[in-house]
Amino acid sequence: HNSSIQERFLQEGRLQSGLRHRNIVSVTDVIQVLHAPALVMDFVSGPDLQALTERCRLSDTEVDELARGILRGVREAHAIGLVHRDLKPSNILIEVSDGALTPRITDFGLAKVGGDSKPLNLTRTGACMGTPGYMAPEQIKDAGAVDIRADIFSLGAILYEALTGQMAFDGPHVLEVWSRIASGVFVPLDQQRPDLPVPLVDTVHRALAVD
């Protein structure tokens, strides 16, 4: 068990060490601490997106700026064939500098290389991995077979929540959440926010589409 955990850390370090982007938390080194590997990562001064939205309601302009930064970071990972598979508000750190908010994506521990059917954290194909509420329908069935579209779904769920203050898919237990995701059951964004531009609403709805 310990060897599997250590291997996961080493894999995460290798993956993130190859990513150098303003919107990604970089791994600068992998070191041994008490005979176990540890990742040396960029220090990010600020909360994660989940903590930030729990403290205050973001303006649409702030959500727009954060969303663009998150998209740039995810695009960089996708460009090298890396699928995150666990994008969620708590995995997006917010760097605060001179009043500006810069999103930094972290925790690539569940990531996989797009064309590889074997997940890089040694889990079996067919295993379900991710965080309920942000997982794409196909990820619930087989996390090892997903591609970048799974991340797009998660981004849609993150943006929906940032704009409304509510999760797109929620429920009293995990099975209920997964059932709603698989059926595409959520309150349309324009019902929650009729003031939003139609192109933005359409973008979020397309990201959250079951197919």
Q: Cα–Cα distance between 180 and 167 in angstroms, integer?
A: 12
Cα–Cα dist 121/5, whole Å: 9
| Secondary structure (H, E, C), 30-69 | EEEECCEEEEEECCCCCCEHHHHHHHCCCCHHHHHHHHHH
**Pick the catalytic residue: 48, 86, 107, 151?**
86
DSSP class of 123: P
Contact yes or no for 77/19 (Cβ under 8 A): yes
**Are 110 and 60 in contact, with CB atoms under 8 Å apart?**
no
Active site residue 48: no
Q: Tell me 179's DSSP state.
A: H
Q: Distance between CA 2 and CA 106 in Å, rounded?
A: 23
Distance of CA 140 to the CA centre of its chain: 15
By annotation, the residues acting in catalysis are 86
